Structure 1
């Protein structure tokens, strides 16, 4: 992962939330929220909250007296999520690094993280921090994307952009969001962090959009893939987006499109 892979600023938070969240994140956010809420936790910490997809799904499921701390490394994303969520006295918004959490030991019943672990520069350290702030018997609930070949739109766009930049193809999607898919490695990392009870379920869903062009804009302009394109030649952002849209339309048609997405959902108990 490069430093550019972690930058969610400028117009990215809005594009990410309005385009990427309904495209691939909402369904998994609803599932994760249900999984977290199933134990009726009194205190929840969310790390790498992004634009707040899980926060919006989980907050209505928590009790009136629950404590819900929502964190992210990127302040622009956290600001966007807080504004989108609106007032809720149970929620505390705090900029925080998941690898160095500013909380006491055994402070939470549940720690949750939606599609954030792939961005951790040291995943064992991040998992160890999640375990540290969990009370005994507490759960760390998170998900990660499966390999890019199991995620149709991301794979098609990555291959299309390689034709725009053949000598230096943008590999953000394959490298980071879809780069941490090995279930054996995930189990090993969690074990090294001190977790002993680990369950992993692979979940397939269908991603839908009104058009191939909408999918291309979402990925090329609503994720750090935009940073990677602009670093090569900012003048080619629109051209690259159009090339991705053409590739998607060639495979899925010019009307509404649907493609497979797949992720691993993990529960590790302290």
Structure 2
């Protein structure tokens, strides 16, 4: 269930991704990943599987020389509107359309989990990285470090289908640090460092969290409008522990940021 092809989302879902997922989940990680990569003025940067471009935009603020590549045309259309100064390219992470040693920095944020050939994608990132260059790749840690998603996956699996539960759990498939280290070493990337970072996600309400998770992902094809009330009714009491006094829902989540120098 973790193949990238299953995340070919519609234009509507790409808009939801940028307007909802980015501020609630992904935006907070762009600066730490850029810091881990050591992006500085003058660097040529490649963001692999850039989505709507939150990390690419952070890199662009630091250097002004950024290529954002993604397989998903809907994501790229939104990305191009948000920052026309970045060179947005359609392409496959396992066959990057760039020369060897073309970039000073290669980054990728929360995408490696979905590649059908993860080792192949990492080898390509390493190939296009120049000598002295820096690689930084962020993946989610184990789902047990994201209890809100664990709860929602369990409920969706019961009320909808095992496939729905698998889709919600898919982002966390690289959560084992030992297996992650082996993946990088086996891809020809020596001495990669793995840094576990704690974070959180924030939504205006439990209902909004569920709506965004369903409508902004392939879950929309599995959980229809008629099923949403039952999902919300069961999830609200289970997720009530994460509601803060403002009424927002704030849930812990952790990520691994993997770095290596060429």
The alignment's TM-score, normalised by the length of structure 2, stands at 0.90
Partner of 1:171: 166
Deviation at 1:96, TM superposition (A): 0.7
Indicate the larger mover: 239-248 or 118-127: 239-248
Partner of 2:211: 217
Deviation at 1:39, TM superposition (A): 4.5
CA deviation digits over 1:43-91, x for unaligned, max 9? 11111001111122221111xxx53111101011011111122x32xx2
Which sections of structure 1, spanning at least 5 residues, go unmatched? Answer: none
2:234, 2:149 → 1: CA distance?
Answer: 10
The answer to whether the 8 A contact 2:196-2:257 is kept is: yes
Provide the alpha-carbon RMSD of the alignment: 2.2
Partner of 2:132: 137
* Number of equivalent positions: 259
The answer to whether the 8 A contact 1:161-1:243 is kept is: no
The answer to whether the 8 A contact 1:105-1:134 is kept is: yes
Q: For residues 244 and 177 of structure 1, do their structure 2 counterparts lie closer, same or farther at Cα, with a shift above 3 Å needed?
A: farther
**2:251 aligned with 1:259:** yes
Deviation at 1:2, TM superposition (A): 5.7
Deviation at 1:200, TM superposition (A): 0.6
The answer to whether the 8 A contact 2:2-2:116 is kept is: no
Deviation at 1:237, TM superposition (A): 4.9
1:55, 1:198 → 2: CA distance?
Answer: 22
Indicate the larger mover: 22-31 or 161-170: 161-170
Partner of 1:36: 37
Q: For residues 168 and 31 of structure 1, do their structure 2 counterparts lie closer, same or farther at Cα, with a shift above 3 Å needed?
A: closer
1:10, 1:61 → 2: CA distance?
Answer: 29
Runs of 4+ that moved beyond 6 A = none
The answer to whether the 8 A contact 2:159-2:231 is kept is: no
Helix, strand or coil at the partner of 2:165 = coil
Map 1:28-67 to 2 at 5 A: 28-62=29-63, 66-67=64-65
Q: For 1:125, which of 120, 129, 136 is the aligned residue?
A: 120
Q: For residues 153 and 55 of structure 1, do their structure 2 counterparts lie closer, same or farther at Cα, with a shift above 3 Å needed?
A: same
1:168, 1:119 → 2: CA distance?
Answer: 15
Q: For residues 146 and 71 of structure 1, do their structure 2 counterparts lie closer, same or farther at Cα, with a shift above 3 Å needed?
A: same
Indicate the larger mover: 100-109 or 205-214: 205-214
Partner of 2:261: 269
Indicate the larger mover: 8-17 or 237-246: 237-246
Q: For residues 115 and 7 of structure 1, do their structure 2 counterparts lie closer, same or farther at Cα, with a shift above 3 Å needed?
A: same
2:150, 2:16 → 1: CA distance?
Answer: 20
1:57, 1:95 → 2: CA distance?
Answer: 20
1:253, 1:183 → 2: CA distance?
Answer: 30
Indicate the larger mover: 17-26 or 247-256: 247-256
Q: For residues 239 and 49 of structure 1, do their structure 2 counterparts lie closer, same or farther at Cα, with a shift above 3 Å needed?
A: same
Deviation at 1:192, TM superposition (A): 1.8
**2:110 aligned with 1:115:** yes
